[in-house]
Amino acid sequence: MAVPKTVLWERDPHTAAKHNLLKRYLEPWAPILLSRNDTITYAEGFSGPGLYSQGEPGSPVIALEAFAKALQHRPGRIRMVLVEGDKRRESELKKQLGKARGHHSDDVVRRLHLNTHCGECHPTLLEQLRLQGCLGKPLFVLLDSYGGPDIPFSLLKELGKHRSTEVLVTFQPQFLTRFAERNEGHRRSGDAAFGGTAWHDVFKQPSKQKFTFLRDQYRETLRRAGFTHTLFFEMVDEDGHVLYLIFGTRHERGLEKMKEAMWSVDRDHGVRYRDPKDVEQQQLALELEPNTGPLRRILLEHIAAAPKGLTVAKLKTFALLETVYKPSQVTKLITDMRDAKVVTTTPRRVTADTVVVPHVSPPQASGQAEALTLF
């Protein structure tokens, strides 16, 4: 998509998918964290105007609605720190947030603190977060630029120093694969985003693997910044342009909730959104069942490698940390594999403590074996 110049622009289908993902994550995120903390913060470094040209809400307004809902049922406060580089868009954002806030009760409004700032994402965002004492406390940061690379590693590192920070970053690989090999300036902006030069190996990759290589390099960048668990969600627009949303957290619960959000947007695979006009998407739409075939195979390999078997609880943690799948998908798969005599479960009923081992067929009685051979 060309970078828009007007204050508002049209929302494309993959932005709608991104908003859906954000909403599905923030709706559980806010109440879970409010149940244990007095104040939590949501921040954006590229907030946008809060509105699209056909009247759809922008990400800060979607977040506000999720937070207003959470504050109706929980005590505590939510702070929103929103940075936008374009003055006209920041003014529109203020207006949209004011309007959205007006629909909620005085009690909710009193506990929902809104701060918008016009400035460059870096360093304005960090300065504001410091000034308002948000670092070191629960903080979710959306860095949703047009795809960059325009988020410096130094910003990620500052955010990643704090255990309770989570980030969701938009990353677009095309620009670097197309222009950075021959342009030193673009290569340097890549170095600033990745915090090093290891990503230059993308120039040696076969064309088909360049995007996934950069995606994995970016996940590694988030890990180096301190976000021990990362997930990606791929979005492809109608012209086949790829954009990744990359999530980083140190918390298994955050990882689990983000996976649930991703699987609610992509019910088949949990990792991508393709524009309905994209040809490949039309083929994918034929797959009606969630595709858990690969998880079945991965679990079986994992079980076979553990001589004493593994509990269902351990298999769920494995699925959460090492695969794209959700822990909640494990129980049904183990039950199906038990019924198909692929694994044995002790006790038979599948609960967290059930131990799973590969199924071994009982040796056949010798008479029976002979009979089979004879006929």
Ligand X SMILES: C[S@@+](CC[C@H](N)C(=O)[O-])C[C@H]1O[C@@H](n2cnc3c(N)ncnc32)[C@H](O)[C@@H]1O
Written as six digits, the tokens of 57 are: 């809400």
User: Cβ closer to ligand X: 38 or 120?
Assistant: 120
Cα–Cα distance, 286 to 291 (Å, whole number): 12
Residue 127 neighbours by CB distance under 10 Å: 13
Q: How far is the CB of 95 from ligand X (least distance, A)?
A: 14
Q: Does 203 bind ligand X (CB under 6 A)?
A: no
Q: Does 10 bind ligand X (CB under 6 A)?
A: no
Among 68-76, 138-146, 307-315, 329-337, which window interacts with ligand X (CB under 6 A)?
138-146
Tell me the pairing of strands 343-346 and 39-44. unpaired
Q: How far is the CB of 15 from ligand X (least distance, A)?
A: 6
In the region spanning residues 17 to 46, those forming contacts with ligand X, defined by CB under 6 A, are 46
User: Cβ closer to ligand X: 152 or 327?
Assistant: 152
Number of residues that bind ligand X (CB under 6 A): 16
Q: Does 144 bind ligand X (CB under 6 A)?
A: yes
Q: How far is the CB of 168 from ligand X (least distance, A)?
A: 10
Q: How far is the CB of 121 from ligand X (least distance, A)?
A: 4
Among 8, 26, 66, 121, binds ligand X (CB under 6 A): 121
Q: Does 111 bind ligand X (CB under 6 A)?
A: no
Between 216 and 245, how does the x/- string for binding to ligand X read (CB under 6 A)?
A: ------------------------------
User: Cβ closer to ligand X: 237 or 256?
Assistant: 237
User: Cβ closer to ligand X: 120 or 353?
Assistant: 120
Q: Does 145 bind ligand X (CB under 6 A)?
A: yes
User: Cβ closer to ligand X: 96 or 354?
Assistant: 96
In the region spanning residues 64 to 103, those forming contacts with ligand X, defined by CB under 6 A, are 83-86, 89
Contact in structure between 199 and 217 (CB atoms under 8 Å): yes
User: Cβ closer to ligand X: 48 or 138?
Assistant: 48
Residue numbers of the site for ligand X (CB under 6 A)?
46-48, 58-59, 83-86, 89, 120-121, 144-146, 150
